[in-house]
Chains A and B, each alone.
Chain A
């Protein structure tokens, strides 16, 4: 894992919600740390979600009614699981399609071939 290989947080900013929604759709119930691990794994360690971006976004999606939460106590620790609400689930597809379209557009704009 090399720093130079990681994507800059600036680029990630607009796609964070989509990433979270899609990951939660594919894996069901997850807690915050688990999500960072999963994203790290899926991106081949090129995307490291910072806590400072992850949690505010999760809370925002929750406040908007896209996510629901479940709290489980493990000993002295309290673990908060996130999962999609029905509203959230219907949002995922739209968001993913939007992002794919965006990537294609970027390809055209930058004049590069996307495989």
Chain B
């Protein structure tokens, strides 16, 4: 039997290759088949060439061969599993081959997705507040707007009688409860006190309005008796570990014995209050007063289903006229009428706020906890979207940019019989695969970043790994983002015409630069906007921290809950002063940081008619001691400070500059007298008892609330018996020593009572905690946005440089310098960054203006800041680009020009 020689076989292989039989696994098989056929015919006496042509003819010559090949490929690919596997393999191969671009794509996408993921968790959390109450859609609370005596209040505090009046007058109101905050309490079971912050007085219908699961006790009767409390599970476990707390007693502030009548499930984090101890309002005398002019109670209503809220609200004016106005007339005397009251620009209005609006849309006086602002939710969502878009743009930019390099691949594939749909699927598989990898990494990043974010945002977010929804979302997100990012490149790339591509007309890469330029501009607009925003927020915070406040917030320690010392208050203060470590000490709760005691009363210049509303000045009435001004470091502008040498100072008063304008004194201010009604003994003013104080000094205005507020009128009178905290001004730089000194003395004089303190400057800083947090979060986001945008720019420059390799080579040969080539490469992208700056600056200006409108004292945001942000963005972009440009420019032209 004849066998084919190697030459024959070689000849057949070459010829088949020439005829386009090249597919893996098919080529060999057909060769073997043809060889076998030729051998058989040669054995029958034919010559090699005749036999070969005969066999070829039986295949149908070139066309038949190719058709066979295509049929085989098709038959193999009918199973979608194989097809996918093929796409997958090729995708992996491509990603590995271009690992630099893959890295940039994955890095950018995963960081972007991680941020989106965190923000998504955050937004879900923020919008989930108070949704767990069964009757949530029927719960409302009252808002009070009161404008009187030069003051304008928008607050939650309502008169004690409002709740019962609403239930009595309007059938729509099913139940109404009040809350009364009395600050923190010292709580003990036997001996040792623990300070509890989340304590509130409330009415017995609390559990009727708020469907909080009661674990032990009867929810309906729990708070019906005085001296009873309901406690959360958390508190029950804290004070009665392993015991049944129901029916037991807790002692509040060393004097109130409270019986536990109910234990309820600890409130979830996404509730607008987190009370741990509810004290029955039955035991609070203040709550029984029938007055309309004192506002101290937050009032919540449960409406009947189907109640018309708008209609109910409209009836409140009538309520004010019927009940509140007669009382006002009596109090103020004279010819008080509602008409005059309103004509003088005054207001007394009650409106309703739905429960669902509280967390995101409310920021009034009397909130239990600071709420969030819906504007920031939108801002966060916008940032998340922008970052995601920036990351997707990187992807699109790189894919289309690289298209030139892949054009040949597309051409060959098309020649080989790929349909356009195959190619699109191939590219989409690649992008989905990439997204999927990125998403897994993103979840990992998010997991690592969440603790930091929680710290910044004061939340306790976690990734819900146990929820199957999460995995669904991940897969869905991979598909969506993959499609989004991949659809444009896949359309773009698969549309190439094989003939022109294979001939070398592949300039498509840079020609389609318009869209790419727009995308780069967009990326940098967002980045620059965020950078300007961050700089502005930080500048304002800096300004606040360093603004002259009118007092000295540094080097002051405040010992809280001094009332726990009982009669040892003064000895405690005196003995610590005797140690010589402290400069001054003062005992009062009226401190110049928000959250301290405040008291507001109407006063007038003695001799004027209090019934004339213009004469009344609503003024902060602080009771302080002799050393207050010295300890806090305020300045006396005129007159003198309180002094022990003047016994008459018990009827003296210091006023601040802001109050002078309002009192409108005639003649000398020092020595003038101001007056108000005295107390009748039950907390109500007594019109027959006048209190008169003599002005002995004027204090320079100092900021005692957030700088969002103006300095309001303020007076200080003497009171040496304050139960408030004790503040010490210390000299030592060693704060540890100061703490130890005071704590040792405390333990000696108040055994068993918790020692708590703070530094005045820390508390001052916490007034701006929200702003600081915002600044930090903003800062992180903008850094990341810039980073992702730069990644894209980096890769894009690398690509451009690669594309223009030959051009650069020729330029160098003709004598171009490295710097001129770097310039050439960076110029175009630099222009785009410049355009981005021009777009971002006005947007940022608008945003900053919006944010700063809340502040009465704001820093100047000059042109300098914008230019600086622009310059920073430009420099970062330049640095990113020049690395690649320089690499390209300094390469040896011989290398780039030799081939071809």
Contact = CB atoms under 8 A, between A and B. Distances in A.
A52 interface: yes
Interface string A41-83: 0000000001110011101101110000001000111111000
A102 interface: no
A52 B59 contact: yes
Given A60-B76, A63-B76, A52 B60 contact: yes
Contacts of B33: 31-33, 51, 55
A55 B33 CA distance: 10
Contact of B72 (A33, A59, A71, A76): A59
B64 A52 contact: yes
Contacts of A59: 72, 75-76
Contacts of B79: 63-64
Contact of A63 (B30, B31, B40, B75): B75
B68 to A, nearest CB: 4
Nearest to A61: B75
Contact of B26 (A55, A60, A62, A75): A55
B6 interface: yes
A78 B13 CA distance: 12
A55 B6 contact: no
A63 B37 contact: no
A80 B25 CA distance: 9
**Which of the listed residues B10, B31, B32, B78 has the most CB atoms from chain A within 10 Å of its own CB?**
B32
Contacts of A52: 59-60, 64, 67-68, 71
Interface string B406-422: 00000000000000000
Contacts of A31: 32-33, 36
What band does the interface of chain A fall in when counting residues whose beta carbon is under 8 Å from B?
20 to 34
SS of B interface (majority): helix
B118 interface: no
Given A50-B58, A51-B58, A56-B74, A63 B29 contact: no
B15 to A, nearest CB: 14
A34 B51 CA distance: 17
A28 B168 CA distance: 98
**Which of the listed residues A31, A51, A55 has the most CB atoms from chain B within 10 Å of its own CB?**
A51
A33 B29 CA distance: 9
A64 B75 CA distance: 10
A48 to B, nearest CB: 8
Contacts of B68: 51-52, 55-56
Interface residues of B, number: 29
B571 to A, nearest CB: 93
Contacts of B76: 59-60, 62-63
B558 interface: no
A31 B39 CA distance: 15
A48 B31 CA distance: 19
A86 to B, nearest CB: 19
A61 B33 CA distance: 19
A32 B33 CA distance: 7
A64 to B, nearest CB: 7
Contacts of B26: 55
Nearest to A33: B36
A78 B9 CA distance: 11
A34 to B, nearest CB: 8
Contacts of B651: none
A60 B71 CA distance: 10
A76 B28 CA distance: 10
A51 B74 CA distance: 15
Contact of B35 (A37, A57, A60, A77): A77
A57 B76 CA distance: 9
A32 B6 contact: no
A2 to B, nearest CB: 17
Contacts of B58: 50-51
A60 B78 CA distance: 8
Nearest to A76: B9
B112 to A, nearest CB: 40
Interface in B32-86: 32-33, 35-37, 40, 58-60, 64, 67-68, 71-72, 74-76, 78-79, 82
Contacts of B13: 76
A23 to B, nearest CB: 16
B28 A75 contact: no
A75 B9 contact: yes
Contacts of B75: 56-57, 59-60, 63
Nearest to A80: B29
Interface string B431-449: 0000000000000000000
A62 B25 CA distance: 13
Interface in B5-29: 6, 9-10, 13, 26, 28-29
Contacts of A77: 9, 28, 31-32, 35
B82 to A, nearest CB: 6
Interface string A15-40: 00000000000000001111001000
Cβ-closest 6 pairs across A and B: A33-B36, A60-B75, A78-B28, A56-B71, A56-B75, A52-B68
Interface of B: 6, 9-10, 13, 26, 28-33, 35-37, 40, 58-60, 64, 67-68, 71-72, 74-76, 78-79, 82
Given A51-B68, A56-B74, 15 more contacts: A32-B33, A33-B36, A37-B40, A52-B59, A55-B72, A56-B68, A59-B75, A59-B76, A60-B75, A60-B78, A64-B79, A75-B6, A77-B31, A78-B32, A80-B29
14 contacts: A37-B40, A50-B58, A51-B33, A51-B59, A52-B59, A55-B26, A55-B71, A55-B72, A56-B71, A56-B72, A56-B75, A59-B76, A60-B78, A76-B9
